[in-house]
Structure 1
Amino acid sequence: MLTLAKLTEALLPLAYCVAVAMYGMAFLRRDERAQRWGRPAALAALAVHSLLIFALTMYHGHCLVYTPFELMTMLSYTITLTYVVVELATGERGTGVFFLGLALIFQTVSAMFSTGVDSSSPNPILLDNNVALHIAAGLFGYTGFAMSAVYGALYLLLYHEIKSNRFGALYNRLPSLGLLQTMGELSALIGLVFLSVAIVIALVALPDILPTFSYSDPKLIAELAIWTLYSGTLLARYAMRLDGRKVMILSLIGFVGSVLSLTVINALLSGFHKFS
């Protein structure tokens, strides 16, 4: 497994570079060959990354959530996987350079600084499958919300360009408003599904695992509030026919609010929700 881990870790930056180059040329130059090969390159990078995570998990014997650099490679992976799902569902490839470029940055930092970090003796609680699944699902959830916020920002930028009768680079290169809205909603839905899994695990399994677990944990309350906001937004979108601009604004507000709330809770109440 160590050999497979080293091989895939060496190949992964190259795979991401190729994918980012393909999507970049497709976005900037409308290169037909790059447009054709972008998706296979992204799928290849995703496959190599999947092998890396599998090899490292088997080698270390725990889910990759123990060190910041393990979390970075997981974050890179969740961005890539979520983007690929959104692209396959919508058929739109115009935003790949942004998300795969971000995944490349996280994976590069992880590979550069993880050497020599001892991951062989993690906190015993992290060896519990429910704890690892809770963390991984939460990571997928917030990745989906972050991507939804990016799509929301792109939507509002393009909306402003169109309303101002400025049909420049953004108008020519970004997907249509309708597609950006669909991609943002799909990303939010993916995030909501995974956050739901994380919350269910927290409510059902963690009380028996963590001695200090409390249902009044501020982080759990914040997660429930974030879940309520996103589920309410998506429900309003389809039940009340909320227009796309308002949906994208709510998506941005939800993500900013989630980041601020969790940041404040971590800063002021760092003793909560610790796996110790």
Structure 2
Amino acid sequence: MRPIQRALAAASVAGMALSTAAAAQEGIISRDIYQDRLRNDGNKITFCYNPFGMMAGFERELAETLGMALLAEVDFFEISRGDLQTIQSEYDYRIPLTVDQIFYMFVQYCDAFMGFLVNDRNPEWVTVSRPYLSAETVIFSRDEDADEIGDLPGDTRIGTRMMAPGDAQLINFLSAQRADWTRVPYYDNALVLERIEDGSNTAGMMWLPGLLNATGGDPEAAGYHILPQMPFQVRSVDVGIATRAQDSFLNTTLSDAIAALQADGTIEAMLVAHDLARPDGG
């Protein structure tokens, strides 16, 4: 059992239900989670991140750049492979950890956690910064005769990662308007691409950074073309930096720094360099 898993099992960390008194009695919180972390650590910010994710290189560079902008020392805590709850899905943004594990990392190691989705389903003890990445979902194909989604043939099979943004809308769209098309769900975005490559499927649906990362930033050169005008609305995938809800000053400071780096084009250039965005701003 990995260190974090042992600690969780021994201490029975229960995420949001963990009381300060119980934590003190068990001695699992070596640093007061209700103290301002920057006050304890001077100007150092420790960023937790997933080194096995597709955005790892970008997120390290972004954290270092934020540190320089804030005149802060930057340290990193890397998630270990043994702590992952599932095999890391390729070309994906999800963090394969439990809420309890993330809570424990905040208690023991992290000031900030890279790669959190900005949504209303995050734990109440977490606040997520301004997004540093906001991405659309696209439908794409290798069919040279298809210039738009309506050009796809009647027996089209569309691969998608299960429960990805747009998956529910795709199910409803096919049921209501294209009963002759078939949704083919997978657990991994890599399989979405592989089944187009081997001819099993006509098209795929994926968040755009995943497709860009898989094709070296150039889907067209890899033989894929993105079909314009999605036939249904899909929420954007917004990714930011999580802090403890109590660390509102740190969260605001990081958000302001992200906004400044977006305004001067720094973050966009980094995204393009890491094959997470198109040079045209897509």
Instruction: Give the TM-score, by structure 2 length.
Output: 0.25
Structure with greater helix percent: 1
Bigger relative contact order, structure 1 or 2 (CA pairs below 8 A, ≥6 apart): 2
> Which one has a bigger Cα radius of gyration?
2
